[in-house]
Amino acid sequence: MSIETQPFNFLDAISHWGQAVAAFLVLVIIAACGLSLLTHGKGGPVLVLRWVPRFFTDLFQLSPRRVFAIAQLTFREAVRRKALVVFGMFALLFMFGSWFMDNPNERMDLQVKNYISFVLTAITWLLLPVVLLISCWGLPEDIRNRSLHTVVTKPARKTEIVIGRMLGFGSLMTILVVVMGVTGYVWVDREVAHNLTVYSESFEVSGEETSVEYVEIDGGVTVRVTSGDAPTRVTTKSSRASLRQDNPELYKLTERARLAALRRHLIAKRPVLGTISFKGADGNPTELGVNTGDIWEYRTYIAGGTQWRAIWDFEEIDEEIIRQGSGLRLESSFEAFRTHKGDDIQQSLLLQFTLVRVNRNVFRDSSGSAVSMTAVRKTGESTYEALIDGVAVSVEPVSVRARDVEVSGNAYVLIDDPEVAVEVVETLEVPLPSFNIAEFGENITLIRSELDHYDQDSGERHQVDLFKDLVNDSGELRIEVACLDSGQYLGMAQRDLFVQLPSNSFAVGYAKAICGIWLMLSMIVLLGVTSSCFLKGPVASLLTLVLLLVGQGFKSFLSRIVTGDVEGGGPIESVIRIIRQINLTDELPETTFYAMVKSIDSFLNEGLFIVENIVPDFRTFQMDTYIANGFDVPWSQALAPSIGVALAYLGPCLVIAYYSLSLRELEHK
Amino acid sequence: MSRLTSRQRKLVYFVAILLLLIPIFVLGRPASRDSQGGVLAQLRRPQGQELGLAEHNLGRVDPTSAAMNLVLLGMRGVAVNLLWMDYIKQQETKNWAQVRSTTESITMLQPHYLQIWRYHGWNLAYNVAAEWDDVRDRYYWIKEGAKFIKNGTEYNRHSPELNFEIGRILGQKIGIADEWRVYRRYFNPDGRQFENLSESEKGDPDPRYRGGVDPELNPDRLDNYLAARKFYEIANNLEGRGFQQHLMMRHIFRQYPYRCRLDNNGSLNREGYFGEFVLNEWSRAQQDWIDGYGQELFATGEGFSVNMELPSEVHYSRLARSQDVEVGQVRRMVRSFQNVVNYRYWRTRSLSESEPETAEAHQKLYEGEELFKQNELIKARTMLVEGLSRLDEVLGRYEDLITEDLTVEEALWGLLLIKKIDELLEKPVAEALPLSGLWNRHLKDKVPSLQFDFNRRFGGL
C-alpha cells in the first residue's frame, strides 16, 4: 500500500494563515490608500480607512432570516437552471459502469480498488463542472438581469447576499453529494458482492478452526471445507442455488465465509503508525536504507542476511490496544527485491520481527540544559558527569520520548537540538518466529500477551509479558525487522508496518472520503461566489477553474519553482533558454544581460511566492486513496487539514466578496 | 419561400428530408444475407469478393469502444496519451489494480492498434510479473499477459503478430524463465513427467482451477510448448493467407511451430523424463523439422525462392533449373537461410536425440546428479562418468553439437559434480575424465559462471 502523507500541525497552520492574511490585508490597504491619494487627494486614505470596518459592522448586523431567504431562493434558482440533470448522467454512468469496467482484474483484492476509485472519481468530476458553473454564474446573471437591485433595495446587506448565495449553492451541492455518495456506496457494495465468486476464509465452528474455500465458475460451484485435522470435504454443485437447495448447512457456512470475505475486502483499517529508522551493516543507526535502483523512492531497502535492520518505534501502546486485538496485531506489506532467484524458487523471502524494549535518555545538568551523550562518562553506579568547557559537571539521565528523537548521521539526536546525542539502550530483545512474506498482500502477525523467550546469556527459557516487559514506561515499543535471506533485500516505508486497531466499517471510511469531496466542492462554491462578485460569469468561471487546476495539478510544481528546485531558472530565463536552445543544466554566460535577467526573474519569483500562498491546495481534499486501499481516512492527516484549508479561505473570501460587491457598479452590465 | 407560413416551411423541410433519404438509402444500405446492399456496399465487394475494408472485417466490433470514441469528440489521441502517462505512473508506483484497468481503457480506445496489445501483453508477462515475489503471483501475471493478447485477437482476427506473441509467452516465457520447472508443472499437470508428484505440487495454483489447467489458455491440457505451437500455427496460417507480419524475416517467423516440439523435448530431458516416449517425440520433431519446415519455400529477394532441406546436389540443381538461376546462387542463399535459423544444427540434434545412446547419456547424467543430492557419492560418480562417456561418443558422431550451449553446459555440469565428489571423498583430482577437453576449452567463459551457480547450490569447490 503506498500513500504518501504529510503530518498536519494546526498551530503552525494557524500561525502561517494569520501571517499570510495580515500581510495580504496590509498590502491591500496600503495599495488602496496609495491609489486613493492619487484620485481623491489627502482625503482619500481617510475614506479608505473608513471603509475598512464596514465589513464587520455588516457582519454583526446581518439578519439570519434574510440570509435563509436568499439561500432558499438561490437553491430554487439553481434547480430551475436544471442543476439536477447531473443525477441523470450519474445514473447512466452507474447503470453502464460495469460494462466499461468489465472486471479487468480477476483478483477481487485488486478490483475493489478500481470500484472505489471509480465511484469517488465519478462523483467528483460530475459535480465539479455543475458546482463551478452555478456558483460562478449566479450573481453575474442577477446583475445582468438587474434582479439583484430588488434584493439590494430590500434592504439586504451585502454580507447577507454573499452568505446567502454561498449557503444556497452549498446546500444544493450537499444534497447532490449525499445522494450520489449513497448511490455510489450501494453500487460498490453490490458490485463486490456480485463479483465475489472465489473466496477462502477461516473461522471457528463449534470450537474447531474451520477453513472454507468457495469457487464459482462457469462449470459450477466447488466448496472445500477443512475442519481441524479432519480430511478436506469437497462438494461440487451445478450452481449456488442448487447448493442452497441440496445442502443448506453447507450453504450457511459458505454464506458466513462470503460475509467475512466481503468485510475483508470492504474495510476501513485503523493503523497505529510508528516512526521508521534503520540500522546499517555495521549495526549503527542510519536514516535510510539501501537504494536498489527503483525509480520510485517511496521504499528503501535492507539487505538480507546482514546486520541491516528496519526499526519501527510505536508510541502509546497500552493494554487496551492489546486487549482489543486479543494480542498486538501487526500488519505488514513489505516489498521484496531479489538479486538471485533463491535456492527454493517457490519460497518467498523470509523475515523476522524482534520486539525490543528501549530506554531513551538525554543527559541534563542541574540547570536543565541538555548535554550530548558523547561528552558524558559514567562515574559510579548511577552517577554521570560531563565535561563542559573543561569543567566536569554532574548530569542526570532524563527519559525522552521517541517522537523527540531522530537519527542523524550515525547517532540518535534530539529533534529540537541536533547537536545533542541521545542515549538509546536496548534492555530486552525477544525475537519472534520467522515467516515468509506475502508481497502486496496482507501479512498479519498476532503477538500474544505472553511470549516464550530463550535468554542466550543465561541459557534459560522463560515467559515474557508483552506489555510489562517490552513496552517501556512511556508506552513505547520498538520492533526490528530483519530479512533472513542472504543476497536479497526487503523494501519498506513508514506505512508498511503498523499496529492494527479494530477496523471501522467500510461505510465510515467511505463517508469520510465523501466528506473530503464535499469540502472540496465547498471550496469551489466559496471561490466561485467570491470571484463572481467582481467578475462576469465566464471570467469568474475561468478564474475558479484555473485556481482548481493549479491547486490540484500544479501545486507541487509551483512550490518547486518558488523554492528554486526546478532547473532552468525563472520565466524570462526559461524563454531565453528555449529560444537559444540552451540545455537546462548548462550554466549561462556571466554577462550583465544575464545577471539582469536573473534579477528580474527573482522579482517575478516573489510574485509566484504570493500566488503559491493564495492558490488553495486542493490536494488536501483527496481522500480516495485511503479508502481505496482499505484504510480509514485519518483525522489528523487528512480530514483536519482539509477542514483547516476550507475554513482558512472562508474569512478572506467573505471579506473580498463583501468589498467587491459593495464597490461594484450594479447598474453596469 | 418568404411568402410561406411557418407551418408550410416545416412541411417543405419534412418532405425534403424524406426525399433525401432515398439517395442515402440507395447509396449506404449495408449488405446482408438477402441483398447485396447499396452502391457503396457493392463497391466494397467487386465481383462478389469481400475486400475486408469494414471494421467488422478486422474483428469484433465493440459498441462500448465505438461509443467511447464518439464521446471524446476527436480527442482520442489526447485521451490515450493521458492514459499512457497514468499507466507509466501506476506501474512505477506499483498500483497493479489500476495498471490492469488503465490497460483495458487504452485498448478500448484503440482496439485495432496492434502495438498496444503487443506491448501491454509483453509488459504484463515480463515486467509486472517480475515485480512480484511469490512464484504463484508471477505465474498469474504471465497468464494475464497471454490472456490480454488473446483478447486482442478477437478485435484483430487476422493478425499473425498477436498470435505469435501469445505463443512466445506460453512457449518462451513459461519454458525458459528461471522458474520454468514450476511454471511447466502449473501449466500442464497431466504431463507424464509429473506423474510422481502429489496433487498439491502441480496444476494451476489459482483457486478457480485448483490443480487443473486454465481453460482459457490450455483447453486441450497440453504441455506449454505444444499449447504455444497451436498459436504459432495460427500465426503461420494467417501469414500464409497473405496477412502480413512485420516482426521478423519470413523464414525466421515460420520456424516457431516446429521449434516448439524440439524445445519441448529438450525440457522433458531436463525434467528427468526419458524413455521410448521421448525418443519417439524426438523422431517426430525431426520429421516435422525436415518434412514440414524444411520444405517451405522462402523468397530470397533475388528473384527466386529456396527451401531449407536440400539433401543432395540433385535437389540443388533441380531447384536452380526450375527457377532459371545458377546452382551457386541457390547454394549460397540456402546456406545463408540455414545459418540464420540454425537449421542444420536442429536437424542434427533431433537426429542424435532420437538415438537411444544419446538418451542414455542424458539419463545417466541426470540420475548421477540425483544420486549426488541423495549423498550416494560413489554411485553418483560412476553414473556421471558413464554419462559423460556416452555423451563423448555422441559428440564424436555429431560434431555440430559441440557448439550447442545446453549440451556443453550439461557436460561441464557433470564434470563439476565429479570434481565435487572427488573433493568430498578426498580423492585426487582425476585427470582422465571424459570430455576434459571441453572443460579446458571453456575454462574462461562458461566454467566460471557455471561454477558460481554450482557453489551457490552445493557449496564451493
Q: What would the pLDDT profile of B217-238 be if each residue is shown by its tens digit?
A: 999 999 999 999 999 999 999 9
Is residue A442 pLDDT above 80, yes or no? no
- Mean pLDDT score, A209-213: 89
Which positions ≥6 away from B53 have C-beta within 8 Å?
B44
pLDDT bucket at A96, cuts 50 / 70 / 90: low
- B262 burial type by CB count under 10 A (0-12 exposed, 13-18 middle, 19+ buried): buried
Residue A369: per-residue pLDDT: 86
Grid coordinates of B35: 441483398
Grid coordinates representing B100 are: 490492469
In 3D space, the residue among A63, A64, A71, A69 whose CA is nearest the CA of residue A175 turns out to be: A71
Strand, coil or helix: B370:
helix
Whole-angstrom Cα distance, residue A104 to residue A113?
A: 12
Residue B277 has pLDDT above 70, yes or no: yes
Confidence of residue B54 (pLDDT cuts 50, 70, 90): low
Smallest CA–CA separation between A242 and chain B, in Å?
19
B89 CB neighbours in chain A (<8 A) are none
Percent of chain B with pLDDT over 70: 95
Judged by CB atoms closer than 8 Å, whether chains meet at A113 and B178 is answered as no
Judge whether B200 is closer than 8 Å to chain A, CB to CB: no
Picking from A95-109, A204-218, A546-560, B430-444, which range would have the lowest pLDDT averaged per residue? A95-109
CB of B307 closer than 8 Å to CB of B335: no
B179 touches chain A (CB under 8 A): yes
**Gap between the Cα atoms of B22 and B20, Å rounded:** 5
With contact defined as beta carbons under 8 Å apart, do A615 and A562 qualify? no
pLDDT confidence band for A6 (50 / 70 / 90): low
pLDDT bracket for residue A53 (50, 70, 90): confident
Among A664-668, B57-61, B372-376, the range scoring the smallest mean pLDDT is A664-668
User: Helix A158-195 vs helix A248-265: angle between axes, to the nearest 10 degrees?
Assistant: 140
The yes-or-no verdict on residue A100 having pLDDT over 60 is no
Contacts of B58 (CB under 8 A, 6+ apart): B52, B112, B155, B156, B157, B158
Q: From its phi and psi, is residue A283 left (phi > 0), alpha (psi between -120 and 50) or beta?
A: left
Interchain CB contact of B208 with A (< 8 Å): yes
User: Per the structure block, which three cell numbers stand in for B398?
Assistant: 555429431
Mean pLDDT along residues B384-407: 88
User: Collapsing DSSP states into helix, strand and coil, what is residue A649?
Assistant: helix
How many helices and strands in chain B, by DSSP H and E?
Answer: 24, 2
* Chain B residues near residue A101 by CB distance under 8 angstroms: 101
Report chain B's terminal Cα–Cα distance, integer Å: 105
DSSP string, A75-124: HHHHHHTTTTHHHHHHHHHHHHHHHHH----SSHHHHHHHHHHHHHHHHH
Give tens-digit pLDDT for A588-607.
888 899 899 989 988 888 77
A335 contacts in B (CB within 8 Å)? 94, 133
pLDDT of residue A14: 84
**Is A345 within 8 Å of B178 when comparing Cβ atoms?**
yes
Q: What is the per-residue pLDDT for B160? A: 96
pLDDT of residue A1: 41
Residue type, B213: V
A/B interface, count of CB pairs below 8 Å: 74
A101 contact B CB<8A: yes
Answering whether pTM is above 0.90, one says: no
What is the mean predicted confidence (pLDDT) over A40-67?
83
pLDDT at B421: 92
What rounded mean pLDDT belongs to chain B? Answer: 89
pLDDT at residue A2 in the model: 47
- A79 grid coordinates: 434547480
Residue keyed to cell 496433487: B199
**Shortest Cα–Cα distance, B97 to chain A (Å):** 5
Q: Which residue has the higher pLDDT, B125 or A24?
A: B125
Chain B contact for A125, CB < 8 A? no
- pLDDT of res. B3: 81
Does A234 reach chain B within 8 Å, measured CB to CB? no
Which residue of B101, B178, B214 is the best one to mutate when testing the A interface, meaning the one whose CB has the most A CBs within 10 A? Answer: B101
Cβ distance A338 to B100 less than 8 Å, yes or no, reads no
Interface check B442 vs A, CB under 8 A? no
Query: Rg (Cα) of chain A, in Å, rounded?
Result: 31
- In this predicted structure, the answer to whether residue B140 has a pLDDT above a threshold of 90 is yes
- Give the pLDDT score at B168: 96
Assign A541 a pLDDT band (cuts: 50, 70, 90): very high
Measured between beta carbons, the chain A residues lying within 8 angstroms of B64 are 99-100
pLDDT for residue B460: 61
Pick the most confident of A15-29, A546-560, B298-312. Answer: B298-312
Q: How far is B205 from chain A (nearest CA, A)?
A: 12
- Residues B306-346 pLDDT 10s: 999 998 999 999 999 999 999 999 999 999 999 999 999 99
Asked if residue B56 has pLDDT above 70, the reply is no
Average pLDDT for chain A? 86
Q: Which pLDDT score, from 0 to 100, does residue A378 have?
A: 86
A486 close to A305: Cβ distance less than 8 angstroms: yes
Please report which confidence band the pLDDT of residue A612 belongs to, taking 50, 70 and 90 as the band edges: confident
Cβ burial of B71 (10 Å; 0-12, 13-18, 19+) is exposed
H or E element that contains B181 = helix B180-187
Which residue of chain B has the CA closest to A3? B93
Written as nine digits, the cell of A121 is 472519481
- Partners of residue A200 in chain B, C-beta under 8 Å: 207
Position B49 scores a pLDDT of 60
Structure ipTM over 0.85, yes or no: no
Helix/strand/coil for A330:
strand
